[in-house]
Chain A
Amino acid sequence: MAQSALVNRHMPVVWRVAFRMLGDRQEAEDVTQETFLRAWKMLPDWEARAKFSTWACTVAINLCRDRMKKKAPVLMETLPEREAADLPPDQALHQKQAGTRIQALIDGLPERQKEAPTLCAFEGLGNKDAAAAMQVSVEALESLLSRARRTLRQALSEGQQE
């Protein structure tokens, strides 16, 4: 029951962080499973130094970084198109397009810049928790967020001019 509560509360966030970083549902599931396997081993010695959510995001991010390092770099001339097959059909078309678009724009960001808005803008983590999960200072997190938003705004502006 306790484990079930832990999974229900935190698993979707861990999976979404991994999915947004890796862009692959199955890989995100693998990372989520590995994160919780580590949690089961770690929990008996848990000391309340960090929130579980922050700890889990840190583990998931590190696992994603490892996977991304192993992948061959892909040079993209245009931003990738995110598959829209999973989107519910009854959602408004405008929202669907906007949601798909922001994820595609995020996909085009460098790794660290991608992590910062994923944690703060999408998952709503506070600055201290997000910085802890990324293992950077709050100042570094802010810098990454600013750069990510500048890049996204520029991409949006270029898209509107085309």
Chain B
Amino acid sequence: MSRMDTTDERVLELIEAYGASSMSWPEDEREAAEAHLAAHPARFEAALAAARALDSLFDADMAPEPGPLLAERILASAPRPASQRHSGLAARIGRVLTPNGRRWPAGAALASLGMGLFAGYTASASSLPPAYETEAENVVYGALGYDQFDTYLEEEMLDE
């Protein structure tokens, strides 16, 4: 919803806070403020000139970039997809069998119990549909503001 009326005072406040470019002003006030400015340009000349001087410095800023390895490090800390999780499950079972890292006596019954548990867990995991990646992707693309992965890809291609 946009506000259709505004005042000199409000336009001056917008220039003071957001700068001379109306593209930086709040969307819901932009149209009214632009119309007011166009109708009475002389009233805002001084404020606009002062704001432009500062805006030109902001525009000159060359956005610094992070180091090239940061993305890799962050992705290395991301949850792994289903296909890479078997060793994690094995390790979890291992931790159950050897709490606190202590080595238990390697009795035959215990070893067979461990192997049975691991085999069962692995078999059940592999028989499930590979839903983890799909679910994770849905969550992530939802967070990105896209309902579907396809929509995201289409927009990415349009951006290129």
Contact = CB atoms under 8 A, between A and B. Distances in A.
Interface in B48-63: 50-51, 53-58, 60-63
Contacts of B56: 98
A33 B19 CA distance: 33
A99 interface: yes
Contact of B66 (A9, A28, A43, A145): A28
B73 to A, nearest CB: 6
Interface stretch (B74-82, B87-95, B109-117): B74-82
B152 interface: yes
Interface residues of A, number: 59
A43 B140 contact: yes
Interface residues of B, number: 45
B151 interface: no
Interface of B: 13, 16-19, 24, 26-27, 50-51, 53-58, 60-67, 70-71, 73-75, 77-79, 133, 136-137, 139-145, 149, 152, 156
Interface of A: 1-9, 11-12, 15-16, 19, 25, 28-29, 32-33, 36-37, 40, 43-44, 46, 48, 51-52, 55, 86-88, 91, 94-96, 98-99, 101-103, 105, 117, 120-122, 126-128, 138, 142-143, 145-146, 149-150, 152-153, 156
